[in-house]
Amino acid sequence: MKRIRITISISKDVATEVDNLVDGTRIRNRSHAIESLLSEGLKMSSIKTAVILAGGKNVTNRAAAIKDAMAQLQSFGIFSITIAVGFLGNELLENLNLKEDNNISVHRSNNGTGGSLYELKSKLKKPFFVVNVNEKTKVDLQNLVKFHNEHKPTATIATKSLRDLNGFYLLEPDIFSYIPKGFSSLEDDVFVKLTKDGKLLSYPVLT
């Protein structure tokens, strides 16, 4: 890999924090530490898009959970959000009381969680979040992205329970090779295939 030399000025306190990362093995020196931090930061900032799966019963609770999830995404710098609605979708949108704008759009589909996501394929060319929550779920998105980038699966699921899989998903675009056209379920169809291929990881949510 071709390398170039750059000169930067940073505060003494920041330099101390950078030097504390140097362990001689994983991080060799100060330059390597700065490069690693920049690389990690760029990977974080490359995720700009999220899809929120919205539908089903318990509309009031689900709407509250979705609003909370949107706030988490926006705090992480993600403002391009598509709300995918299916069963009872109109009722849920009324509870959300959101107006569509350049950052928030609504996609209507009756093709299940997998089929609905497949229909958005053209908009999802880079890693993206999918949110599927029935209750408020706090996720450290920065650590989730770091975990995902270190292990490089097709999908990482941040969830309290591997039984219902509600939570935040971080997905790579190659997930669409696992999703057929038409009706399909992420949870029951797509994730099963990914598990068999060793391309799905879970990230536990403890709160």
Residue 161 belongs to a domain? yes
- Give residue-wise pLDDT tens across range 47-74: 999 999 987 677 778 889 999 999 999 9
Lowest mean pLDDT among 80-89, 132-141, 151-160, 165-174: 80-89
Q: Determine how many CB atoms are found less than 10 A away from the CB of residue 174.
A: 10
Q: List Cβ neighbours of 130 (8 Å cut-off, separation of 6 or more).
A: 50, 51, 52, 53, 117, 168, 169, 171, 186
Residue 24 belongs to a domain? no
Range of the domain at 79: 46-204
Residue 90 belongs to a domain? yes
Q: What sign for the dihedral angle of Cα 137, 139, 145, 147? A: negative
Which tokens sit at 135? 């209750």
Query: Is pLDDT above 70 for 45?
Result: no
Residue 97 belongs to a domain? yes
- Give residue-wise pLDDT tens across range 121-133: 999 999 999 999 9
Residue 134 belongs to a domain? yes
Check residues 163 and 57 and name the one with the higher pLDDT: 163
| Number of domains into which the chain is organized | 1
Dihedral pair phi/psi, residue 197, rounded to 5°: -90, 0
Q: What angle do CA 75, 47, 149 make, to 5 degrees?
A: 110
According to the model, what pLDDT value does residue 43 have? 53
Most trustworthy range by pLDDT among 5-19, 89-103, 135-149: 135-149
| Predicted confidence band of residue 36 (pLDDT cuts 50, 70, 90) | low
Report how far residue 11's alpha carbon sits from residue 29's, in angstroms, rounded to the nearest whole number: 18
Rounded to the nearest integer, the mean pLDDT of the chain is: 86
The CATH number that applies at residue 91 is 3.90.550.10
Report how far residue 114's alpha carbon sits from residue 53's, in angstroms, rounded to the nearest whole number: 10
From the list 127, 154, 104, the residue with the least C-alpha distance to 42 is: 127
Lowest mean pLDDT among 15-29, 107-121, 158-172: 15-29
